[in-house]
């Protein structure tokens, strides 16, 4: 299994996803500020992976705090959490993981500071281990939706690279392949950061799962030709009504799938569900650098000074989602009622 991220001996080690597929490079961080920058600059990306990285970053930061008691530890700890929380706004797993680390700190407030630091490290590693187990559980449930011989379209990268390991949408695909189903995957290139071309295609090819790379604008063509049987994507945040925020272009794929009567599935852990939001209209959409649109490999592909829009995510309304695959099972509409039953 691809080792996306790990935490040992006071070092957070992660694969630099900006270098893939050309180079398989691992970077090591001892400072929580560097982990925050790695999240911001997408060396690590994918909602679950960001959550794991944030938890590890919180632990690294806590280790640096010099304090005699919890009262003097807490203000510095809060600053660390705030910095990491500001790295990316859309993926709710980031805030979920930080909130969990804050709670374990608060629950341990009567203990010596050195003991609190050990507890925080243990919790970060626990979040990492849980994520892998959750992904495998999602895969087990989700692969039941895939038939032998299916051709599956996926958008962006929701694989091992987007998680602690195994993957959400690609975890379902991995599980189907592992169950002996003869499947084929079509991977959208996913402009502008090319997560499909660089990461999904790399992951699947590495594991000999049949994959064909297509440009984002080709999806409708292959649906019309009946060469796609279903769509599976991941998610960065899901509102309580089942509206799904995912990589920009997901909304378009969902509309195409509905037009061609193709099932559209979302695979995401419970930590991606934001039950405080009544709809996707409340999900903050990250606006990223214009240069990610106008440049590839440090080369201009657009005129200098061109006006650029770059929302990193869009929101797919729940009416276009056939099912949400979680570690607790497959959730069907009506999502507003059925998602509540998971908690």
CATH code of residue 123: 1.20.120.420
- Is the confidence at residue 196, as pLDDT, over 90? yes
Residue 63 near residue 12 (C-beta atoms within 8 A): no
Note whether 95 and 146 are same-domain residues.
no
pLDDT at 260: 98
Note whether 148 and 295 are same-domain residues.
yes
Note whether 125 and 162 are same-domain residues.
no
Note whether 57 and 84 are same-domain residues.
yes
- Domain carrying residue 123: 5-136
Note whether 102 and 160 are same-domain residues.
no
Note whether 108 and 233 are same-domain residues.
no
pLDDT in tens, 260-300: 999 999 999 999 999 999 999 999 999 999 999 999 988 99
pLDDT at 1: 74
- Among 310, 312, 323, 311, smallest CA distance to 257 is for 323
Average pLDDT over residues 174-202: 98
Domain boundary among 136, 165, 195: 136
- CATH for 307: 3.40.50.10470
pLDDT at 136: 98
Note whether 146 and 258 are same-domain residues.
yes
Domain boundary among 136, 153, 185: 136
Note whether 132 and 146 are same-domain residues.
no
Note whether 207 and 315 are same-domain residues.
yes
Note whether 103 and 157 are same-domain residues.
no
Note whether 155 and 30 are same-domain residues.
no
Q: Which residue has the tokens 């607790």?
A: 328
User: Average per-residue pLDDT in the chain?
Assistant: 97
Domain boundary among 96, 119, 136: 136
Note whether 88 and 181 are same-domain residues.
no
Average pLDDT over residues 129-135: 98
> What is the set of active-site residues?
236
* Domains: count for the chain: 2
pLDDT at 297: 86
pLDDT in tens, 88-125: 999 899 999 999 999 999 999 999 999 999 999 999 99
């Amino acid at each position: 299994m691809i080792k996306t991220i790990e935490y040992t001996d006071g070092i957070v080690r992660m694969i630099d996803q900006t270098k893939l597929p050309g180079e398989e490079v691992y970077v090591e961080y001892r400072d929580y500020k560097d982990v925050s920058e790695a999240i911001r600059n997408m060396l690590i990306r994918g909602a679950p992976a960001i959550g794991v990285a944030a938890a590890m970053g919180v632990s690294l930061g806590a280790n640096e705090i010099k304090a005699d008691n919890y009262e003097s530890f807490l203000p510095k700890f809060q600053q660390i959490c705030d910095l990491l929380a500001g790295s990316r706004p859309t993926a709710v797993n980031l805030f979920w993981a930080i909130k969990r680390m804050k709670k374990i700190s608060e629950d341990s407030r009567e203990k010596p500071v050195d003991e609190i630091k050990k507890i925080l490290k243990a919790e970060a590693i626990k979040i990492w281990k849980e994520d892998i187990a959750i992904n495998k559980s999602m895969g087990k449930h989700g692969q039941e939706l895939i038939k032998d011989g299916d051709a599956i379209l996926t958008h962006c990268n929701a694989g091992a690279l987007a998680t602690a390991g195994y993957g959400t949408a690609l975890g379902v695909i991995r599980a189907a392949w592992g169950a002996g189903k003869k499947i084929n995957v079509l991977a959208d290139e996913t402009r502008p950061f090319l997560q499909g071309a660089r990461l999904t295609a790399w992951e699947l090819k590495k594991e000999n799962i049949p994959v064909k790379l297509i440009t984002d604008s080709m999806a409708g063509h292959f649906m019309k030709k009946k060469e796609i049987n279903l769509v599976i994507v991941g998610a960065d945040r899901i509102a309580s009504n089942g509206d799904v925020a995912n990589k920009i272009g997901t909304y378009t794929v969902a509309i195409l799938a509905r037009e061609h009567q193709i099932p559209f599935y979302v695979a995401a852990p419970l930590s991606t569900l934001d039950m405080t939001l009544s709809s996707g209209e409340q999900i903050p959409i990250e606006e990223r650098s214009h240069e990610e649109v106008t440049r590839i490999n440090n080369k201009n592909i657009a005129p200098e000074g061109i006006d650029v829009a770059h929302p990193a995510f869009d929101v797919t309304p729940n009416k276009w989602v056939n099912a949400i695959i979680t570690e607790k099972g497959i959730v069907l509409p009506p999502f507003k009622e059925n998602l509540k039953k998971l908690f």
